[in-house]
């Protein structure tokens, strides 16, 4: 992957202390120069996906998945490079790409199951396409890409000599129908052209919002071929210098927990969803925001009147390739509801929604 590095990444090299620390690790020397936890358990993150990972060469530990993703983009993308993104998508991706000088190119997934159209996807590639961003499980839809869809993506990466930059870990264990996401790096000859970014934020509930400021204990990491991982580490040092050592130790403990290795114990929101779906659906299926009302304003009214916050789906749609007015309108028809919550939280939200219903089964907003 070295030939795919960005011009900026090629100018960076490990600092003197990094080089000496790596030498100390190889020589099993006692390191009194800096403080950090031992990395071997991080190797489990790759092994759990059937990948052979070098813990000292193929991993870059960062301050959260967002930084790992940004550093991955900066390590690969030059000005004018095109990067394919699936629409809808998480907004952070576009920001990192544009800061690097890249050009986001959106490929819309087809509702209601958010399937990948192979022909539409293949036609989005050009001679300037350098990478594709794959978020699996997908935010905001919860979609898990099928093996067939991953094979389509992999085939295009090979045909166009592109890099896959994945966000695999945020919702890795939070899926519907007991689906298990599969990293595209596990497909034949894809590990050498894939950068995987991961974190524990949602799985272990270490993201929260307090007083208009996001407060969390961020740890993320990238798994990549040695040349790309080295470039990401060099960029990481320029951005945040280091990830908090105590949080790394906590991440190692979490990764060692057998709950993540036993499929029967994997976190699933299906039961919680089924428990509440009848009560939620009665409300959500009846949502008909007045045409003159912006959907964001409708969501604000839900906060005020129901005491429940959801996310307007329109904030996740960025592409402009919708061929018809009908398809443009569907972007205004979705809200994102996070079901990866406790039973008590979901039950309270359902009760609040229920109290907002009128006798006709419709929300009383703007009645």
- Domain count within the chain: 2
CB 67 within 8 A of CB 96: no
270-276-279-282 Cα dihedral, nearest 10 degrees: -20
Please check whether residue 364 lies inside any domain of the structure. Answer: no
The answer to whether position 56 is within a domain reads yes
Q: What is the DSSP string of 33-48?
A: S------GGGHHHHHT
Report pLDDT digits (tens) over 7-26: 989 888 776 666 777 677 77
Dump pLDDT digits (tens) for 191-246. Answer: 999 999 988 766 666 655 444 444 556 788 999 999 999 999 999 988 887 787 77
pLDDT at 145: 93
Same domain, 85 and 28: yes
Q: 263 near 269, Cβ under 8 Å?
A: no
Determine the Cα–Cα distance for residues 136 and 91; give it in Å rounded to an integer: 15
Which of 232, 260, 288 is at the close of a domain? 260
Alpha carbons within 13 A on the beta-carbon side of 263:
6
Query: Is there a single domain that holds both residue 125 and residue 176?
Result: yes
If you ran DSSP here, which 8-state letter would residue 245 be given?
Answer: H
Q: Bridge-partner residues for 222, per DSSP?
A: 60, 197
Report the distance separating Cα 170 and Cα 188, nearest Å: 24
pLDDT at 281: 47
Would you place residue 317 in the very low, low, confident or very high pLDDT band (cuts 50, 70, 90)? confident
Same domain assignment for residues 184 and 286: no
pLDDT exceeds cutoff 50 at 323: no
Q: How far apart are CA 41 and CA 29, in angstroms?
A: 19
Q: Which two tokens stand for residue 69?
A: 């993703």
Check whether residue 122 and residue 234 sit in a common domain. Answer: yes
Helix (H), strand (E) counts: the chain = 13, 11
The answer to whether 365 and 302 have CB atoms below 8 angstroms apart is yes
Which two tokens mark 85? 């993104």
**86, 135: one domain:** yes
For 202-241, list the strands marked E by DSSP. 207-210, 213-216, 220-223
Higher pLDDT, 160 or 247: 160
Nearest to 140 by CA among 275, 339, 327, 2: 339
Interatomic CA distance for residues 342 and 228, integer angstroms: 39
Of 233, 260, 287, the residue that ends a domain is 260
Residues 113 and 228 placed together within one structural domain of the fold = yes
- Cα 44 to the chain's mean position, in Å? 19
Domain boundary among 260, 288, 309: 260
Say yes or no: 309 and 224 in one domain: no
Mean pLDDT score across all residues of the chain? 77
| R_g of the chain computed on alpha carbons | 22
Q: 298 and 248, same structural domain? A: no
Whether 276 and 177 share a structural domain? no
Q: Same domain, yes or no, for 115 and 243?
A: yes
- pLDDT per residue over 91-142, tens digit each? 889 999 999 999 999 999 988 888 999 999 999 999 999 999 999 988 888 8
Q: Give the structural domain span for 338.
A: 270-355
Q: What is the rounded distance in angstroms from the CA atom of residue 98 to the CA atom of residue 255?
A: 33
Q: Are residues 70 and 173 in the same domain?
A: yes
Would you state the pLDDT for residue 231?
95
Q: Are residues 111 and 204 in the same domain?
A: yes
């Amino acid at each position: 992957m070295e030939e795919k590095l960005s011009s900026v990444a090629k100018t960076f090299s490990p600092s003197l202390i990094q080089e000496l620390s790596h030498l100390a690790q190889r020589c099993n020397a006692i390191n009194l120069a800096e403080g950090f936890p031992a990395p071997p358990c991080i190797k489990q993150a790759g092994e759990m996906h059937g990948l052979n990972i070098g813990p000292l060469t193929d991993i870059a530990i960062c301050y959260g998945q967002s930084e790992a993703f940004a550093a991955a983009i900066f390590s690969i993308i030059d000005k004018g490079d095109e990067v394919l993104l699936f629409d809808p998508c998480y907004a952070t991706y576009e920001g990192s790409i544009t800061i690097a000088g890249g050009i986001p190119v959106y490929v819309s997934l087809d509702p209601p199951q958010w399937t990948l159209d192979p022909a539409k996807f293949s036609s989005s590639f050009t001679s300037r396409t350098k990478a594709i961003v794959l978020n699996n499980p997908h935010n905001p839809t919860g979609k898990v890409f099928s093996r067939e869809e991953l094979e389509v993506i992999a085939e295009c990466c090979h045909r166009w000599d592109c890099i896959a930059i994945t966000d695999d870990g945020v919702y890795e264990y939070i899926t519907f129908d007991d689906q298990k996401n599969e990293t595209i790096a596990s497909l034949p000859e894809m590990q050498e052209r894939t950068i995987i970014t991961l974190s524990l934020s949602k799985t272990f509930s270490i993201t929260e919002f307090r007083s208009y400021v996001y407060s969390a204990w961020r740890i993320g990491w990238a798994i990549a071929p040695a040349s790309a991982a080295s470039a990401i580490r060099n960029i990481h040092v320029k951005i945040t210098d280091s990830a908090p050592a105590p949080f790394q130790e906590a991440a190692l403990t979490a990764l060692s927990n057998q709950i993540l290795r036993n499929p029967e114990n994997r976190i699933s929101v299906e039961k919680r969803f089924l428990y509440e779906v009848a009560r939620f659906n009665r409300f959500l299926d009846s949502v008909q925001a007045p045409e003159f009302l912006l959907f964001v304003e409708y969501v604000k009214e839900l906060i005020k009147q129901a005491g429940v916050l959801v996310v307007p789906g329109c904030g996740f749609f960025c592409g402009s390739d919708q061929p018809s007015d009908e398809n443009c309108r569907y972007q205004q028809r979705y809200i994102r509801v996070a079901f990866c919550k406790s039973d008590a939280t979901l039950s309270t939200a359902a009760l609040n929604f229920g109290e907002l219903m009128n006798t006709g089964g419709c929300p009383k907003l703007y009645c």
